């Protein structure tokens, strides 16, 4: 079996999910175990008395890219999640898309922009993103739609929306957000029902997209969208102001979790 460092480097090189479990107290103090995306040890081994519990918690934390100190008497461990670069697909090369691509790039997302209008979908307008010019139905197969993909649809044209929504809803993408009014969302839901998607499928579509922060400018709307994505990504948060909220800012595991 490879060393922990080699195992971690392998996971990062393959751009996969994983976890590093470090024993910080107890009989196995200092030991490290590296788990792959399925929770299988690829370096080291977990004590049999706590292996199932550690693996289950590591998988949950991995799904939300969280790190956490945990206790499994007589063991205390620190679980560090490994995550590949996140991919963002923006449909619609509009002003909000420019701000969103720029901010998302600074946050570590690898951004792809799709639009059928070559005058708008240009490297000059999206210097930090990959730009695909064409109707979504013709270029969507050039985009990986998997567990680390975040989809934001800014176009109000159903010819741009529907092919992407269909492909995204048939995949395990982490997030699907759509710009538009509540009436636009109602019409969108109707089309998706006609396409054969269930209520549970449609519930994955966040429309109108973003958190309610009173955004007006394209940059502010981009912040609203990224704020919602961040809340989804890490699996907690209320979207409320931290001022006046009691308790820790950074969530910690309680005995009830």
* 210-221 pLDDT, tens digit each: 999 999 999 999
Cβ-Cβ contacts under 8 Å for 20 (sequence gap 6 or more): 4, 8, 32, 33, 34, 35, 79, 80, 82
- Going along the chain, which residue ranges are E strands? 18-25, 32-35, 41-43, 68-72, 75-82, 87-91, 110-115, 130-133, 149-153, 175-178, 205-206
Where residue 156 falls among pLDDT bands split at 50, 70, 90? confident
Residue 231 has pLDDT above 80, yes or no: yes
* 121-147 pLDDT, tens digit each: 999 999 999 999 999 999 999 999 999
Q: Which residue has better confidence, 246 or 2?
A: 2
CATH numeric code, 87-234: 3.40.50.720
Residue 255 has pLDDT above 70, yes or no: no
Cβ-Cβ contacts under 8 Å for 185 (sequence gap 6 or more): 178, 205, 207, 208
Long-range CB pairs of 123-132, under 8 A, 24+ apart, other chains included: 125/93, 125/98, 126/93, 126/97, 126/98, 126/101, 128/101, 128/102, 129/90, 129/101, 129/105, 131/93
Which has the closest alpha carbon to 177: 143, 224, 139?
A: 224
What predicted TM-score, i.e. pTM, was given to this entire model?
A: 0.85
Distance from C-alpha of 111 to C-alpha of 230, rounded to nearest angstrom: 16
Mean pLDDT score across all residues of the chain: 93
* 77-89 pLDDT, tens digit each: 999 999 999 999 9
Domain map (residue ranges) of the chain:
4-82, 87-234
Where residue 239 falls among pLDDT bands split at 50, 70, 90? confident
What is residue 250's predicted lDDT score, i.e. its pLDDT? Answer: 56
Beta bridge partners of 69: 78
Burial of 233 (0-12, 13-18, 19+ CB in 10 A): buried
């Amino acid at each position: 079996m490879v060393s922990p460092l080699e195992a971690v480097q392998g996971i990062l090189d393959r751009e996969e999910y994983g976890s590093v479990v470090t024993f910080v107290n107890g009989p196995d103090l200092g030991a490290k175990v590296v788990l792959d995306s399925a929770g299988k040890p690829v370096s080291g081994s977990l004590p049999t008395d706590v292996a199932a519990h550690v693996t289950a918690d590591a998988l949950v934390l991995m799904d939300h890219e969280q790190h956490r100190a945990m206790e499994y008497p007589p063991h205390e461990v620190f679980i560090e999640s490994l995550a590949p670069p996140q991919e963002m697909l923006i449909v619609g090369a509009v002003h909000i898309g420019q701000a969103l691509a720029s901010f998302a790039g600074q946050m570590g997302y690898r951004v792809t922009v799709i639009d059928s209008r070559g005058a708008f979908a240009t490297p000059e307008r999206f210097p930090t993103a990959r730009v695909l010019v064409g109707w979504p139905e013709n270029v969507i197969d050039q985009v990986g739609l998997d567990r680390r993909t975040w989809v934001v649809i800014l176009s109000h044209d159903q010819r741009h929306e529907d092919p992407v929504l269909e492909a995204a809803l048939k995949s395990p993408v982490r997030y699907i957000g759509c710009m538009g009014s509540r009436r636009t969302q109602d019409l969108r839901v109707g089309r998706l029902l006609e396409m054969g998607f269930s209520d549970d499928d449609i519930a994955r579509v966040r429309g109108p997209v973003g958190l309610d922060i009173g955004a007006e400018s394209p940059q502010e709307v981009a912040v609203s969208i990224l704020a919602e994505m961040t809340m989804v990504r890490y699996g907690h948060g209320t979207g409320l102001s931290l001022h006046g909220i009691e308790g820790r800012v950074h969530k910690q595991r309680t005995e009830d979790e």
